[in-house]
Amino acid sequence: MEGRMSIGSIWLGGCSGCHMSFLDLDERLFQLLERADIVFSPLSDRRELPDALDVLLVEGAVALSGQAELLRDFRSRTRTVVAFGDCAVVGNVTAMRNHLDLTSMLRHTYGAEGARMGHDPAHHLPAMLDEVLPLHRVIDIDIFLPGCPPPADLIWYTVHELLEGRHPVIDEKRLRYG
């Protein structure tokens, strides 16, 4: 396994669309797996955290309690962290709730005014943070890869450059939000 790159990905506050776009690499996934291992990902079965990662793709914004700590932990294990998609880079749809009051938003979405909300969610689910944050507000980011989702070609360009030991350049030609 000498010289093989270890790649991981995690999924925070996002819709999984970026991971779907990653799967759109199609046959390029085989090229990738010739030279790299996907050691941790929502797409793989492996559940133990790797000690060290070469590249980590992070989809989604920091939206729930525990996610910031998870992110810091992964940052300390990883050489190159990629903010993967618009939610990770700018907050995007996940952050659209930021100007709303959390409690009234939950009531509006899940219960009629005055209706009982069921069990206290704080005891059963991770709490929603008051402010959804893009990743760079929590950890240092090496590469920003915007797009909703980033197109497969852009993901391939980025991963391929990293495989070749180069720093991908996301410039005017490649930058696309939305």
E strands, 22-159, are 36-40, 53-59, 62-64, 78-84, 128-133, 143-145
User: 29 vs 64, which CB is nearer to other proteins?
Assistant: 64
Identify the residue among 24, 25, 37, 144 touching other proteins (CB under 8 A): 144
Closest distance to other proteins from the beta carbon of 30 (Å) = 29
CA 80 to chain centroid, in Å, comes to 13
| Sequence-separated (6 or more) residues with CB below 8 Å from residue 178 | 86, 147, 148
Instruction: Name the residue type at position 126.
Output: P
Identify the residue among 131, 152, 157, 161 touching other proteins (CB under 8 A): 131
Closest distance to other proteins from the beta carbon of 90 (Å) = 6
Q: Which residue stretch of 61-69, 72-80, 137-145, 159-167 sits at the interface with other proteins (rule: CB under 8 A)? A: 137-145
The values of phi and psi at residue 94, to 5°, are -60, -35
Identify the residue among 21, 86, 156, 162 touching other proteins (CB under 8 A): 86
Chain contacts with other proteins (rule: CB under 8 A) = 83, 86, 89-93, 95-96, 98-99, 131, 134, 136-137, 141, 144, 146, 148, 170-172, 175-178
